[in-house]
A and B are shown apart, each in its own frame.
Chain A
Amino acid sequence: MGGSASLLPREALGEYQELTFLTKQEILLAYKRFSELLPKEERENACSARVPKSQILTLPELRANPFQHRICRVFSTSGNGDDSMSFEDFLDMLSVFSDSATLDIKSHYAFRIFDFDEDGTLDRSDLEKLVDCLTGQGEESRLSNAEMEQLIQNILEESDIDKDGTINLSEFQHVISRSPDFVSSFKIVL
């Protein structure tokens, strides 16, 4: 524990504290867990290394999560589309999912995670994929077509204010602000 503290420079630690919602201990723990994902020879400069997506998905916090691929895609800043994450991406992710993140930030990123086709709105296909993620991946665990139709109809009725058949960011944030469970469920703590 003391070793990892000396590996992360103090100015970087202070800067990360200012730029994220994480506390000092949480950043150090994140650093430790991140360097454990790297092979031994790369652990020295963990701050600049990138971890491939397959390694990130071995984290217990992500391995059971049905949105794991979307999370990696949204938070990764890798230019070549391989969804690898650097340490700063990892910190960004933990910051959004931390206890002290604001509702605005959480709802903004939730919108991006749920936007499967990345067109800036949640349309029917996005909502269908979302419900499939929630109910499980097997064939027998999907809702029937009629049930899915009824469910999506209800969701759009509740959240689509301008009645255009899709949910945009403002409508999503509006409906999230009235959702009592969102803050407690949209949380990952290492």
Chain B
Amino acid sequence: GGGGRVPCCAPGRLPAPQPPCFLPLAEVFLPEETHGAAPVDFLQQLPSYQSALRRRATAGGGTQERRAAPQGPAGLRAAAGLGPEEEEDQVAAPTARECPLSMAEKRRLRVNKQADVKHLSGGKQWRRTSSKSLKKVLSEVKEFSSYLKLWRHDIHSIEGKFGTGIQSYFSFLRFLVLLNFIIFILMFSFVTLPSIIAKYGMFNSSFAKIPPKNIEPHCTVYEPSGNKGLIYFYDYLKHLLSGTGFLEETSLFYGYYTIDATWISIVRYNVPLAYLLATFAYLALSLIWIISRSLEGFKQNLVHAEDQFQSYCNKVFAGWDFCITDPNAARLKHRSLRYELQTDLEEERLKRKIADRTTKEKLRIYSLRIFINVIVLAVLLGCFYSIYRATFFSQENSNGVSNMNFLVNLLVQYLPSIVITTANIVAPQIFSFLIRYEDYSPAFEIRMILCVFLRLASIGVLLFSLWSQISSCNTDMCKACGYNYELYPCWESQVGQEMYKLMIFDFIVILAVTLFVDFPRKLLVTHCSCKLLQWFGLKEFRISDNVLEIIYGQTICWIGTFFSPLLPAIATVKYFIIFYIKKVSLIHTQKPAARPFRASSSNFFFLLVLLIGLVLAFVPLGVSIAHIPSSKACGPFRNFNTSWAVVPHTILEFPKPLQQVLYGIASEAFAVPFFMVICLVMFYFIALARAHKRVAEQLKEQLAMVRFDPLFCTPKVFFVSVIRHAGKQQFS
């Protein structure tokens, strides 16, 4: 009928004829059932075959599988599930709401199921009711927690007006706000709070500063230029913007935590160990959280070899965002879909042409590519070198002379940040221009890779430049300390200051670009009808560029938190404000990009780049903690060679057996076999995945053959298929 529904979970006639030779999976596996065809014995090696065998044996008879299962996988599962009651332990019977039926039919189904339940034993009934009530409680909790979600309404309205691509950017921003807030809570409660309590003597606490032994006295001199004398207002502002002066002595920076042991009431609190462990904890927390969020996208990306995001089926069947409510946005979406489909079809035609390229043309293209890649490499190296020199210059000139003009001083302090930001604006434009000539396929987003690399490597170059200055030792006195004690008596604080400056400058740039570039541009475009301006148009909201911007800020935060424990709080506030800035800017001054970025690939892409940023943050932190000697003039690690040394020192105080276990785990005798076992497990899974993929390909081929090959079909079924085929040809 017109409004009829396909009954699921029950045998019945279907509204349309389905290919009758669609053999259910179990039929293909089990050789006894096939009609004389060559047994597919390679299939019997697979674990999935074994489980199908087990399931079939307990299902008691092949009647359920023999039914043509064109209802799809759900139908097959349902068919297998609604048999005798013993089956429900193996295959979960679909609940009423998982069946594609109208409400009245679902109600009838539920009533029938409840009638069946009465036949169960008491134990099973109790299990069923308890699982049902558990599910209800879980759904209530989920509903409640969805209310607590920040910006739920804002993101929902953005989704309605701009689609899921841009909404995913704002969801990502929300995730970062939450992540930074949790990191801040972690560092504050384990590091800052005990230190403040100890320093102010609250709750009957006290702290001790143990002077380091065996250290030359000149290494321990540290005089932060604090509130000495009269301070002018612009000095105050300068200190606020560059983290020097009064800010250097606060709990914002590493230097404040010059505490070696504290007693809160009578409990001894090991501040150095807590500092190090809190650092590892926030890194581990970030890693686990990001990985758990990206698991879905990971599976899609790794399992399927072909480029799924460029597949036509994905673009056509999942192309329309059903959440769009605004007619203007719908019009834009239609346009962008058409543009995307047309471009892809055109590029496919181009690809076919490329495959017909002669050797001479190929040679030309490859030599052109090599030439352009050399230029790109040169541009990258140029950027890195300028960042390196700028950091050098900034460090040399900002430490001494204090009679410089206020603005010039600020400029010199911020020089590395300015150079990094300039490089990150100019270089991508150069790359876009050059890459056009390289004639890559559109799926290969090389510009993206280059921009990611540039952003994250800039921070690395800056830190490398700082370290080379910190560790540069010419005199003997300097070698005794292990670092350049004259310029950097408390080098961790100064690294923290650089990170602080980077973060503040990043925020100022985002604010300034929105206020002084986007809004005037919108005003000009709407009110001035000059042809050139109209061609420029409004700025496009490019999701990938915006995402890279915030990932850059997050990487700075991760690296900087070790040197400046309150930095995550600043990051939280910064991203909170950026949300509103971006939202207002998007709604009033920008338009969505013509070439859309696919939503879920966006999610996976964001998290992947964030993960790369996190892993990249491990490297400088690892070097700082384990390699460079900690400063002897400040900080909780004064009495240790390096910051890491506090861990072996603490282990020495453990009881002997525990010490031996820990040494055993860290030794080669354990690590090498462990590594080999992990490799074996990985190879096993890879081999299994490959086998499954091969079987899938072969099954697909069989499906195509099955329609016509009389060996695979019974005569009756073959007849029906031939008639249907002939009928179609007659009517088409």
Q: Which of A's residues lie within 8 Å of B, judged by CB?
A: 15, 17-21, 23-25, 60-61, 63-67, 73, 76-79, 81, 88-89, 91-92, 95, 97, 102, 104-105, 107-110, 114, 118-121, 127, 130-131, 133-136, 141, 143, 147, 150-151, 154-155, 158-159, 161-164, 168-170, 172-173, 175-176, 178-189
- Collect the chain B residues with CB atoms within 8 Å of residue A88's CB: 102-104
Among the 9-residue stretches B330-338, B587-595, B710-718, the one with 4 or more Cβ atoms under 8 Å from chain A is B330-338
Q: Are B320 and A173 in contact (CB under 8 A)?
A: no
CB of A189 within 8 A of CB of B342, answer no
Q: When A158-B313, A179-B313, A181-B314 are in contact, do A102 and B322 touch as well, CB less than 8 Å?
A: no
Within 8 A of A (CB), among B10-29: 14-19, 22
- Given A150-B345, A179-B314, decide whether A185 and B599 contact each other with a Cβ distance below 8 A: yes
Are B320 and A66 interface neighbours, CB within 8 A? yes
A-contacting 9-mer, from B67-75, B121-129, B247-255: B67-75
Q: Assuming A64-B330, A135-B334, A158-B311, is B3 touching A77 (CB within 8 A)? A: yes
Q: Which residue of B lies closest to A142 (CB)?
A: B338
List B residues 56-101 near A (Cβ within 8 Å). 69-74, 96-98, 100
Bound-complex Cα distance A151 to B309 (A): 16
Contacts of A109 in B (CB 8 A): 100
Write out the residue numbers on chain B whose beta carbons fall within 8 Å of the beta carbon of A97. 322
Q: Does any Cβ of A come within 8 Å of B239's Cβ?
A: no
Check if B324 sits within 8 Å of A79, measured CB to CB.
Answer: no
* Cβ A155 vs Cβ B316 within 8 A: yes
Name the distance in Å between A5's Cβ and chain B's nearest Cβ.
15
Residues of A near B341 (CB, < 8 A) are 131, 134-135, 143, 147, 151
Interface size on B, residues (CB 8 A): 78
30 contacts between A and B (CB under 8 A): A19-B103, A19-B107, A24-B143, A63-B325, A66-B330, A77-B104, A95-B97, A104-B74, A108-B72, A119-B16, A134-B320, A134-B341, A136-B338, A141-B335, A155-B313, A158-B313, A159-B313, A164-B19, A164-B707, A169-B70, A169-B71, A175-B313, A179-B308, A179-B311, A179-B317, A179-B318, A180-B301, A180-B604, A183-B600, A188-B322
Q: Does any Cβ of A come within 8 Å of B323's Cβ?
A: yes
Given A147-B345, A154-B348, are A175 and B110 also a contact pair (CB < 8 Å)? no
Chain B residues near A147 (CB-CB < 8 A): 341-342, 345
Across the interface, name the chain A residue whose C-beta is closest to B707.
Answer: A162
A134 to B318, CA, bound (A): 10
B727: chain A residues at CB < 8 Å are: none
Instruction: Check if B583 is an interface residue, CB within 8 A of chain A.
Output: no
Specify which of B100, B700, B704, B707 lies most central, judged by the most chain A CB atoms within 10 Å of its CB.
B100
Which residues of chain B have C-beta atoms less than 8 A from A162's C-beta?
19, 22, 703-704, 706-707
Find chain A residues with CB under 8 A from B326 CB: 60, 64
Chain B residues contacting A15 (CB-CB under 8 Å) are 107
B164 contacts partner chain A, Cβ-Cβ < 8 Å: yes
Q: What separation, in Å, do the CA atoms of A63 and B331 have in the docked complex?
A: 12
Q: Point out the residues of chain A lying under 8 angstroms from B74, CB to CB.
A: 104, 108, 173
Check if B371 is an interface residue, CB within 8 A of chain A: no
Given A135-B341, A169-B72, A189-B156, CB of A180 within 8 Å of CB of B308: yes
Establish whether residues B164 and A185, one from each chain, have CB atoms under 8 Å apart when the complex forms.
yes
Given A104-B98, A119-B16, A150-B348, 14 more pairs with CB closer than 8 A: A19-B96, A19-B107, A23-B139, A65-B330, A76-B3, A77-B3, A92-B103, A108-B72, A108-B100, A120-B17, A141-B334, A155-B316, A161-B704, A180-B318
Question: Which residues from B are CB-within-8-Å of A184?
Answer: 164, 168, 599-600
A22 to B70, CA, bound (A): 28
Asked whether B320 lies within 8 Å of A89 as measured between CB atoms, the reply is no
B522 within 8 A of A: no
**Chain A: interface secondary structure?**
helix
B620 at the A/B interface (Cβ < 8 Å)? Answer: no
Interface assignment of B692: CB less than 8 Å from any CB of chain A: no
B537 on the A face (CB < 8 A): no
Known contacts A108-B74, A108-B100, A170-B73; is A155 also within 8 Å of B312 by CB?
yes
- Name the distance in Å between A177's Cβ and chain B's nearest Cβ: 8
Decide yes or no: A168 and B319 within 8 Å by CB, A63-B327, A163-B704 being known contacts.
no
> In whole angstroms, how far apart are the Cα atoms of A105 and B72 in the complex?
11
| Across-interface contacts of A19 in B (CB, < 8 A) | 96-97, 103, 106-107, 110
Task: Contact check, A187 vs B322: say whether CB atoms are below 8 A apart.
Answer: yes
Q: What A residues does B103 contact at CB under 8 A?
A: 19, 77, 88-89, 91-92
Using A104-B74, A136-B335, A151-B312 as known contacts, say yes or no to A143 and B97 having CB atoms under 8 A apart. Answer: no
- On chain A, the residues within 8 Å of B164 by CB distance are 181, 184-185, 187
Given contacts A147-B345, A179-B317, A187 and B311 within 8 Å (CB-CB): no
Known contacts A169-B70, A178-B308, A185-B322; A102 and B96 CB within 8 A of each other: no
Using known A-B contacts A23-B143, A78-B3, A180-B297, determine if residue A161 contacts B317 with beta carbons closer than 8 Å.
no
User: Which residue of chain A lies nearest to B600 when distances are taken between CB atoms in the complex?
Assistant: A180
B300 interface residue (CB < 8 Å to A): yes
Contacts of B96 in A (CB 8 A): 18-19
CA–CA, A80 and B415, complex, Å:
75
- Chain B residues with CB under 8 Å of A81's CB are 2-3
Task: Verify if B424 is at the interface (C-beta below 8 Å from A).
Answer: no
Q: Cβ of B97 and Cβ of A185 under 8 Å apart?
A: no
